[in-house]
Amino acid sequence: LGALLPLASAHFKLIYPAARGFDEDLLVQFPCGGQNTVSSNRTMFPITGAPIQLLMGHTAAKVQVLMALGNDPGINYDITLVPTFQEKGPQNFCMGAGAIQFPAGLNITDGMNATIQVVTNGDPNGGLYNCADITFTSTPLTASEYSADCQNSTGVTAEALTNAGNANQSTADATGSAAPSGSSSATASAASSGSSSGASSAGSSSKTSTGAAAQA
């Protein structure tokens, strides 16, 4: 995993797949936390599934994972990979491969490019954004690669939400704990499927995966 952020001040950072860039002061800017230049060093992301690893700087946040296909998608993050769910606990948090399910009909093939955008509400004024540029591959991760890119700190959990909308539609209080946005439908570490209702600054999500689970 990448070097730990100073959690006293950090919001969150996308560790795997590797973020295209990171500037703490620009995370509030949509899209991609102000990182508008597509990375020339894309992460190879298995079509069969791979984890998404985050480093969380707040004690709680709502999290959502969106995707856009293409070499440079701009602001068109209209594919929901993981609907908004409630994450609790700072430091390492992994959404396992079972969480990242591609909606039917995308026809993803080896060598196709895309960008993943993770959205959280861990800012008093709304959303925070990190992006990773990827290239799909038919080669799966090895067990050791997967383990290295999917780790959870002690006590980290995730809860499914109903009618949660986009993650940036709710705010966090000064201590970093998330204000209510939808009701929890489970205490297990799973984010159930659902559709995003389309806050423009998160990307209006018109395609939604099913059966996604956030593994804590």
Q: Is residue 127 part of a domain?
A: yes
Question: 19-25: long-range contacts at Cβ-Cβ below 8 A with a sequence spacing of 24 or more?
Answer: 19/130, 19/131, 19/132, 20/115, 20/131, 20/132, 20/133, 22/130
Q: Is residue 170 part of a domain?
A: no
Total count of domains within the chain: 1
Q: Is residue 181 part of a domain?
A: no
In order along its 216 residues, the chain shows pLDDT tens digits of 444 444 445 689 999 999 999 988 899 999 999 999 999 999 999 999 999 999 998 888 899 999 999 999 999 899 999 999 999 988 999 999 888 878 889 999 999 999 999 999 866 666 899 999 999 999 999 999 999 999 999 999 998 888 878 888 764 433 333 333 333 332 233 333 333 333 334 544 445 543 334 454
Q: Domain of 63: which CATH number?
A: 2.60.40
Relative to beta strand 79-88, strand 157-159 is antiparallel
Cis peptide before 6, with omega less than 30 degrees from 0? no
| CA-to-CA separations, 75 to 18, 35, 164, 166, in angstroms, rounded | 19, 12, 21, 15
Cis peptide before 17, with omega less than 30 degrees from 0? yes
Pair of tokens at residue 26 = 């620009």
Residues 6+ apart with CB under 8 A from 36: none
Q: Is residue 203 part of a domain?
A: no
Q: Is residue 105 part of a domain?
A: yes
Q: Is residue 108 part of a domain?
A: yes
Q: Cα separation of 162 and 25, whole Å?
A: 31
- Taking the CA of residue 194 as centre, how many other CA atoms within 13 Å lie in the half-sphere pointing to its CB? 20
Range of the domain at 120: 12-149
